[in-house]
Amino acid sequence: MQKIKSLMTRQGLRSPQESVNDLSPVESFRIPTKEEFRELHEEPTDPQAQQEIINSIEEVYFSNDSFDIVKYELERLPPVLSLQELEEYRDKLKQQQAAVSKKVADLILEKQPAYVEELERVTSLQTGLQLAAVICTNGRRHLNIAKEGFTQTSLGLLANQRKRQLLIGLLKSLRTIKTLQRTDVRLSEMLEEEDYPGAIQLCLECQKAASTFKHYSCISELNSKLQDTLEQIEEQLDVALSKICKNFDINHYTKVQQAYRLLGKTQTAMDQLHMHFTQAIHNTVFQVVLGYVELCAGNTDTKFQKLQYKDLCTHITSDSYIPCLADLCKALWEVMLSYYRTMQWHENHDQDEAAVVSSDGNNVMGTEENSFDRNYVKKKLEHGLSRIWQDVQLKVKTYLLGTDLSNFKYDDFIFVLDVISRLMQVGEEFCGSKSEVLQESIRKQSVNYFKTYHRTRLEELRMFLENETWELCPVKSSFNILQLHEFKFMEQSRSPSVSPSKQPASAISATLTLFEQYCNGGNPFEIQADNKDDETEDVLASNGYESDEQEKGAYQEYDSDSDVPEELKRDYVDEQTGDAPIKSVSRETLRSRKRSDYNLNKVNAPILTNTTLNVIRLVGKYMQMMNILKPIAFDVIHFMSQLFDYYLYAVYTFFGRNDTPIPTSLLCASNREQHSDRQFELTGLGLSSSRLRTTLNRIQESLIDLEVSADPSGTLTAAEERKEKVPSPHLSHLVVLTSGNSLYGLAERVVATESLVFLAEQFEFLQPHLDAVMPAAKKPFLQQFYSQTVSTASELRKPVYWIVAAKAIDYEQMLLLMANVKWDVKEIMSQHNVYVDALLKEFEEFNRRLNEVSKRVRIPLPVSNILWEHCIRLANRTLVEGYANVKKCSNEGRALMQLDFQQFLMKLEKLTDIRPIPDKEFVETYIKAYYLTENDMERWIKEHREYSTKQLTNLVNVCLGSHINKKARQKLLAAIDDIDRPKR
């Protein structure tokens, strides 16, 4: 087949389709010639036949232009070619071609008039176009002439001028664009200079200019860059605002506020400021504590930085606790001071703005908006006060509770309390807060510390008391507890004790708050370290005396007036009251009085021991703690009362108990019942009041651990109670109370008892201060302590000195001497009996030994009076007991009794100035009772119950037994039994 096609190609045969495609457009529309039409007409003219021929053409010939007819026909040839068949098939194709050509020719002839008409129009158009070409040529020639003659000369000038103006505007725009593009450098410089208002103003102006030139593509990029710059400025402004929290600077803060106002974000700035203050508090305390923890750890381990603040506080050592606390408070003070100064700035700024608005009433809308902002800022700042203080409290509370302070030294703990007290004062002035969080946390620590501290002090006090030899501690006569360092804090509250040079400063500081004092510099927590002992104490006298001259005079005799101090020559001063009598005292009275107050020429310094001084110092320390932290006032005062209770109980235990048997002859009727009830009441022999006995019982039950039960099965509560108690103290073996030469330890007894009285006086002096800090609900405890304990200190003198009086004079020997006297004499005697002289010799010896003791220790007037009173009372009761032992007695014997007693009184009055003589009526009444009748005796017995049953029975048997009958005697004895029965 390929051979046939190639052969046809060489012969120039083409397919009908190809021949059609090769025709030019003009040729394709060529009109058939006459011959062709004639040939076409010669073909059968039967339309139906032609249509059938056309319809017989295969559909594939009408498919598309790319259809290869030749190839198609060649492919259809049968394998075996037949010439006849080929010719027949060729004829058929020719017929089909002729039918198609005829059909085409018919269609062309049908459209020929329209074709001719269109061809004429084309010819006419061609002619018109040629004419237009001539007109255009002429127009161009004339335009060229106009261009050369007019446009290039006149209009060219105008065009150039217009172009010049456009270029000038463009140049201005370019300069502005250049300036805008250089803005970044200037903004950076202004930010470095911290000129935030200027930077924002410049940035806003640049944004406004950029919006004008936004049609330039470079400006659109610059505008977005300016927006980024503005956001960057806001970030830097926020950083600048955060710096205010630690170090407030007026100029800096003014710039920041102006910048925020330009941005229209005043309220946002205030919200951010509070966030910064909260963050500043957290960061500050964390960094301070972290610094000390890492310093104490001694390594660069970063594990501490990952800890929470609460956990970090537990790593603070006891050595670094106080410096860290001080630095913590200093740092927090700086934050609060910055907030305070921020509020001050806004108050002053609002006042200035209000003044400007009042002078210029324009711009009402702006004024209202500013007023709204000011009110918002004011309320926000006021609300932030309590929030910031609450944050401060919580941070300090966490720090306080992170360490156990129970083992701290007292001065260190007082320093902690002082710092916290100052911090609470700051809170009070900062926002009027009572600092409940701080108070509760420091109260917990204080109670915990104070229990441990007080327990240790009580143990120390017991050790002091058991090692105390009760020697006099030499102090100056002008000694006052306010001279001790522990009581220095009280001088500030006592205006008379403040020196005139210090009063103005204290007055100024009293009127100014801490924020006003330290607003421009300094820190209220820096002065604490300097608040130590600024001067040394000077309360001890040299060798117990204030001058050598007085020391020499201490051992002189009492017979001359040279040993009497000048103040006694001028006026006698009562030691008990300190008041001088209205009238001058006579020389003889002065002589008699000086016998009672032994060693008056020695300086009348307070009588106290080292232990007393130690207790007073402890009281001062307790009051310091109580003054700093008033919420634990009750606990502190309760512990202070225990110090006094223990001292009182120790003095009573050492010197108020009598271990030697008491002669029954010295016991009155009421005393014997006490003797049978309780041993310790025996020591008082009726002289200790029920109030004193109640106080001693209470102390013994509540404070003293008697160690009587060591039962391991005891309850936990009982163990806790025992833990709060202290063992009973024991007297030092160096103190001898059994020697008659020393009047049975009278010097030690005087020092012990009078030091207790002195301690009670100091408690009385401190009562107003304690009452001022005591909670109202607990004041009854304080009143009861003073009325039932402190006031009983002087009452301990009687039982203590009674023991000396009971042993100093041999009353049993006097009873033996009285038993040898005959009382049934028949005539009135003019000479008294020997026992009176013996008794007086005992009193003289007592007086001598009293003088010897007074050379060691000054014996105050109340002490000497009590001693003499006890001795005289015991002597008088011994006389009555001796008279009650008489078996036979006459009226002359009764007169002899009166003579003996009067002689005793006359001589005794020369030895002592006590008036009236104690129990004088007790003896005289008993002697005179011998003269009573039966009826009078019965009434007398009922009225005088102070005498014992034996003494009353002796009156009935001896006095009336000789001249009354047995029935009457029995009646009187029955009356005595009735009196004695209730006592049983």
Q: Are residues 911 and 970 in the same domain?
A: no
Q: What is the pLDDT of residues 703-743, one digit of tens each?
A: 888 764 444 444 545 555 666 788 989 888 888 888 888 88
Q: Which are the contacts of 906, defined by CB distance < 8 A and separation ≥ 6?
A: none
Least confident of 58-62, 481-485, 530-534, 815-819: 530-534
Distance from C-alpha of 842 to C-alpha of 779, rounded to nearest angstrom? 51
Q: Would 904 be classed as within a structural domain?
A: yes
Q: What is the pLDDT of residues 391-404, one digit of tens each?
A: 999 999 999 888 88
pLDDT at 425: 87
Q: Would 942 be classed as within a structural domain?
A: yes
If pLDDT is split at 50, 70 and 90, which confidence band does 548 have?
very low
Q: Are residues 755 and 735 in the same domain?
A: yes
**What total number of domains does the chain contain?**
3
Q: Which of 798, 832, 849 is the last residue of a domain?
A: 798
Q: Indicate whether 612 pLDDT > 90.
A: yes
Residues 345 and 273: beta-carbon distance below 8 Å: no
Burial 436-473 (b: 16+ CB within 10 A, else e): ebbbebbeebbeebbeebbeebbeebbebbbebebbbb
806 is written with which tokens? Answer: 């009971």
Least confident of 89-103, 512-526, 749-763: 512-526
Q: Are residues 917 and 939 in the same domain?
A: no
User: What's the domain range around 821?
Assistant: 809-921
Q: Would 344 be classed as within a structural domain?
A: no
Question: How do the residues of the chain divide into helix, strand and coil, expressed in percent and rounded to 5?
Answer: 75, 0, 25
With vertex at residue 38, the alpha carbon angle to CA 34 and CA 40, rounded to the nearest 5 degrees, is 120
792 is written with which tokens? Answer: 């009983």
Q: What is the 3-state secondary structure (H, E, C) of 831-851?
A: CCCHHHHHHHHHHHHHHHHHH
Q: What is the pLDDT of residues 45-65, one digit of tens each?
A: 678 888 888 888 887 788 777
Task: Name the residue type at position 412.
Answer: D
Q: Would 963 be classed as within a structural domain?
A: yes
Distance from C-alpha of 198 to C-alpha of 262, rounded to nearest angstrom? 10
DSSP string, 522-572: --TTTTTTT-S--S----BPBTTBSSHHHHHHTTS-SSSGGGS-HHHHH--
pLDDT at 738: 84
Of 498 and 952, the structure prediction assigns the larger pLDDT to 952
In which region does residue 14 sit, left (phi positive, over 0), alpha (psi from -120 to 50) or beta (all else)? Answer: beta
Q: Indicate whether 531 pLDDT > 60.
A: no
Average pLDDT on 887-908 reads 89
**What 3-state DSSP class applies to 659?**
coil
Least confident of 352-366, 447-461, 907-921: 352-366
CB atoms within 10 A of CB 217: 8
Q: Which of 767, 798, 829 is the last residue of a domain?
A: 798
CATH of the domain at 846: 1.20.58
Least confident of 36-50, 148-162, 175-189, 865-879: 36-50
**What 3-state DSSP class applies to 475?**
strand
Q: Are residues 898 and 825 in the same domain?
A: yes
Q: Which of 887, 921, 955 is the last residue of a domain?
A: 921
Q: Would 590 be classed as within a structural domain?
A: no
Q: Are residues 620 and 483 in the same domain?
A: yes
Q: Are residues 789 and 845 in the same domain?
A: no
Q: Would 314 be classed as within a structural domain?
A: no
pLDDT at 662: 55
Q: Would 619 be classed as within a structural domain?
A: yes
Q: Indicate whether 967 pLDDT > 60.
A: yes
Q: What is the 3-state secondary structure (H, E, C) of 147-212?
A: HHHHHHHHHHHHHHHHHHHHHHHHHHHHHHHHHHHCHHHHHHHHHHCCCHHHHHHHHHHHHHHHHH
pLDDT at 633: 85
Burial of residue 716 (number of CB atoms within 10 Å: 0-12, 13-18, 19+): exposed
Q: Would 421 be classed as within a structural domain?
A: no
Q: Are residues 861 and 824 in the same domain?
A: yes
Q: Are residues 746 and 767 in the same domain?
A: yes
Q: Which are the contacts of 627, defined by CB distance < 8 A and separation ≥ 6?
A: 489, 773
Average pLDDT across the chain, whole number: 77
Q: Are residues 909 and 828 in the same domain?
A: yes
Q: Indicate whether 25 pLDDT > 80.
A: no
Residues 209 and 175: beta-carbon distance below 8 Å: no
Q: Are residues 696 and 642 in the same domain?
A: yes
Q: Are residues 868 and 951 in the same domain?
A: no
Q: Indicate whether 110 pLDDT > 90.
A: no
Q: Indicate whether 672 pLDDT > 70.
A: no
Residues 542 and 534: beta-carbon distance below 8 Å: no
pLDDT at 433: 84
Q: Are residues 824 and 911 in the same domain?
A: yes
Backbone angles phi, psi at 705, to 5 degrees: -95, 105
